[in-house]
A and B are shown apart, each in its own frame.
Chain A
Amino acid sequence: AQTVTQSQPEMSVQEAETVTLSCTYDTSESNYYLFWYKQPPSRQMILVIRQEAYKQQNATENRFSVNFQKAAKSFSLKISDSQLGDTAMYFCAFILAGGSQGNLIFGKGTKLSVKP
């Protein structure tokens, strides 16, 4: 069975600084996808970034980038130039590729607070 672990229940960062959220996962499969979702207090789950396991290049979306280490089964999220609007719960998620069902496996989340 696949598992996703986020070891940091809470983190804080000063506005304009950089913060890295950690995520590790466990799977015996080689083809899968990894995601970071953001859930602000409004509770809307927003897809932040996506990484295909077969791609060595780390995904980047504006201020958000990942450090994907497949051998170590690690998938961290770096947020640069943090903004107050980045305050949210961040969930790391995993899904096997090629399946017909949609079972995203989520970590327990990291609560990020951006302080002015």
Chain B
Amino acid sequence: LAKTTQPISMDSYEGQEVNITCSHNNIATNDYITWYQQFPSQGPRFIIQGYKTKVTNEVASLFIPADRKSSTLSLPRVSLSDTAVYYCLVRGDYKLSFGAGTTVTVRA
């Protein structure tokens, strides 16, 4: 029942910027967009959250267009340790599960 769609996988190299786009066509007015990162054998951890326009923290940037039907997580200058699964979550429905996420593989 996930309301989001994101690519299954992406490959990158160290030092590059990685951009992951998530589609959420049915986003509700009061929904926030949240991104999580998960390493193997660990629980997901919060990366960034936004409602509209652009949000930036020490780890990533989140770009949200005016119609809010999609969002793009940007990871600047990735390193090998950024290899993980990234989940886009639109939270407004209590019963939402996480989708399959995007597996990002960073190569040397």
Q: Do A and B bind each other?
A: no
